[in-house]
């Protein structure tokens, strides 16, 4: 078995250790005897047709400006892949740009690619700290947020989870992240996947299921270290 993982803008969008999500996916595949090939996409390059997982991280507003034109060019292909249920994880900056738009504090509107039914407007204050959210499918998820964007969800997405610690999408509706098909958007850095192995395995399992055309039960891994890291993160003050 082999999975192709598309890493969007690894140079521009790699804030707070987001590259660790790629490392987690690769290692959890390797530990199960699954080959994992990482395809890095930078501005000006084409998008492969046959990717199995898509990941994109966060970046500063200036980095979002850098990738804006290229992201718009590859948007039709990304939409096609998401609509075809390719498992996708986008964090912070790319989470925002998968929506309708991100409006900066200066009033500049960066157009998104409308894969996720949401929009983001920069707030006056940054939302910073440790986060714990409760989810229906993945149990408790932990992470770290640092963003000024205030994200509002539309009717065609559902939240990743509800906040029990932290601010989440906007600091007032107690929601964090967004889900559409097998696409997940979130503000959680840290990176998110090493301390939340159930979420990592969801992406891997969905990718394998698309290949096989049937449900897949992943080989069990010893997640003692991952669960210990999760527990420590969950007990940290906000």
Q: What is the dihedral of CA 108, 64, 44, 116, to 10 degrees?
A: -90
CA atoms within 13 A on the CB side of 197: 17
Q: What is the dihedral of CA 62, 68, 70, 74, to 10 degrees?
A: 140
- Alpha carbon distance 129, 117 (integer Å): 26
Which among 7, 147, 189, 230 is annotated as catalytic? 189
Query: How is residue 218 annotated by DSSP?
Result: P
Which among 7, 29, 41, 92 is annotated as catalytic? 92
Query: Residue 29 catalytic?
Result: no
**Contact, 47 vs 74, CB < 8 A?**
yes
The three-class DSSP label of residue 193 is coil
The three-class DSSP label of residue 103 is strand
Query: Residue 19 catalytic?
Result: no
Which residues contact residue 91 at a Cβ distance below 8 angstroms, ignoring those fewer than 6 apart? 18, 21, 56, 57, 58, 185, 186, 187, 188, 189, 191, 192
Query: How is residue 181 annotated by DSSP?
Result: T
User: Would strands 35-41 and 2-8 be described as parallel, antiparallel, or unpaired?
Assistant: parallel
**Catalytic (active-site) positions:** 92, 189
């Amino acid at each position: 078995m082999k999975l192709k993982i598309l890493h969007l803008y690894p140079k521009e969008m790699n804030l707070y250790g987001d590259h660790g999500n790629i490392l987690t996916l690769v290692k959890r595949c390797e530990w199960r005897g699954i080959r994992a090939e990482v395809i890095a996409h930078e501005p000006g390059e084409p998008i492969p047709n046959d990717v199995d997982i898509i990941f994109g991280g966060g970046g500063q507003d200036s980095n979002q400006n850098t990738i804006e034109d290229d992201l718009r060019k590859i948007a039709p292909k990304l939409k096609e892949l998401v609509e075809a249920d390719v498992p996708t994880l986008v964090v912070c900056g790319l989470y925002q740009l998968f929506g309708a738009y991100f409006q900066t504090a200066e009033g500049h509107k960066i157009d998104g690619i409308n894969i996720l039914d949401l929009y983001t407007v920069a707030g006056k204050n940054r939302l910073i700290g440790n986060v714990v959210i409760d989810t229906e499918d993945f149990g408790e998820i932990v992470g770290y947020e640092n963003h000024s964007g205030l994200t509002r969800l539309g009717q065609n997405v559902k939240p990743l989870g509800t906040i029990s610690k932290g601010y989440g999408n906007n600091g007032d509706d107690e929601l964090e992240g967004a889900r559409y098909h097998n696409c997940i958007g979130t503000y959680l850095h840290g990176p998110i996947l090493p301390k939340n192995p159930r979420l990592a395995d969801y992406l891997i399992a969905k990718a394998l299921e698309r290949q096989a055309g049937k449900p897949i039960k992943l080989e069990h891994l010893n997640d003692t270290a991952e669960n210990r890291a999760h527990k420590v993160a969950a007990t940290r003050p906000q």
